[in-house]
Amino acid sequence: MFSIEKKYIQDFFYRWVQGSEKTLFAIKFNLVKGVLRYRASLRWDDRAKQYTIIDDAGCKVVFPRKERLKKYKDGANARLDVIENEYMAGEVPLVDGDIVIDVGANVGEFSKALRRRAKIRVLAVEPDELEVEALKINMEGIDHEVYGVALWSESCYKEFYPGNETGDSSLFQSREDIQPLRVECRTLDEILSNSRVVESWETIKLMKLETEGAEPEVLLGAKRTLERVQFVSADVGAERGINKESTLLEVESILRDQGFEPIGFSLPRAVMLFRNRKV
């Protein structure tokens, strides 16, 4: 009975917090975070239009949407652990100066997680404007470039279906109620040819790929880049379009043709880790 009553109280206060926005949302959360069993504090920056979660160890992550708060129940550092484990990045040896390409970077948690192990250089790509602003802040202290575009198999303009309240933004429509935006699409090969962070002769240690179903098209626009990538960690879950199709077979086929072999698979996110046999 006690556990049921405690759950009811937590649900009540969580709804009370969620009914507010911005500064008031942060104030309410900080008042009841103990009841909600969160191990972090929250603040709202009205100038940057971003929330910042700060855990007891001082680790912090910036994000624009209050719906994301639930990901940080155990603190910012614990959230970074989850991201690193989901993409099996611990299987990739990192040293200072290594290059990481973060495709579908969102607010940059993946790069922040890896930065704890080595002074990496990061090229991050994220099409959503609000997430890009948070990404730039979270990349402070990292040698990086941020591109606020979508990736595709060719340079063009396409309809983009935003859904970052749930982390589901995509170039493929996943729900009937989403209003699309017109966004610029570029190929990764084109971006790399003009990069400040990545020289044309350098090996790329790791490419993380998460584009809500557009993974095959991104890889088709990155064939020159893939020739010098050592590891690819790709989300191949059932996220493509209304029918929620998996991209596993297409991604594996493209990467095998490029000389990669699968070396790991992780659930529940459905991530495959590949190693380039030629690099």
Tens digit of pLDDT for each residue in 196-205? Answer: 989 989 999 9
Residue 179's contacts (CB-CB under 8 Å, 6 or more residues apart) are none
Q: Are 30 and 17 in contact (CB under 8 A)?
A: no
Q: Which residues share a beta bridge with 42?
A: 53
Q: Residue 188 and residue 154: Cα distance in Å, rounded?
A: 9
Instruction: Name the stretches of the chain with pLDDT < 70.
Output: 1-4, 164-167
Q: What pLDDT shows up at residue 239?
A: 87
Residue corresponding to tokens 């690193």? 84
- pLDDT score of 173: 82
| Distance of alpha carbon 272 from alpha carbon 269, whole angstroms | 10
d(CA 170, CA 242): 11
Q: Token match 């990467």: residue?
A: 255
In this predicted structure, what is the pLDDT of residue 1? 41
What pLDDT is stored for residue 10 in this prediction?
87
Q: How far apart are CA 105 and CA 92, in angstroms?
A: 18
Q: What is the pLDDT of residue 20?
A: 94
Lookup result for tokens 């290059």: 99
> 60: Cβ–Cβ under 8 A, 6 or more apart, which residues?
52, 53, 54, 76
- CA 279, CA 276: separation in Å to the nearest integer? 6
Per the structure block, which two tokens stand in for 46?
């009205």
The per-residue pLDDT for 178 is 81
| Whole-number CA gyration radius for the chain | 19
Q: pLDDT, tens digit, for every residue of 63-114?
A: 999 999 999 999 999 999 999 999 999 999 999 999 999 999 999 999 999 9
pLDDT for residue 167 = 62
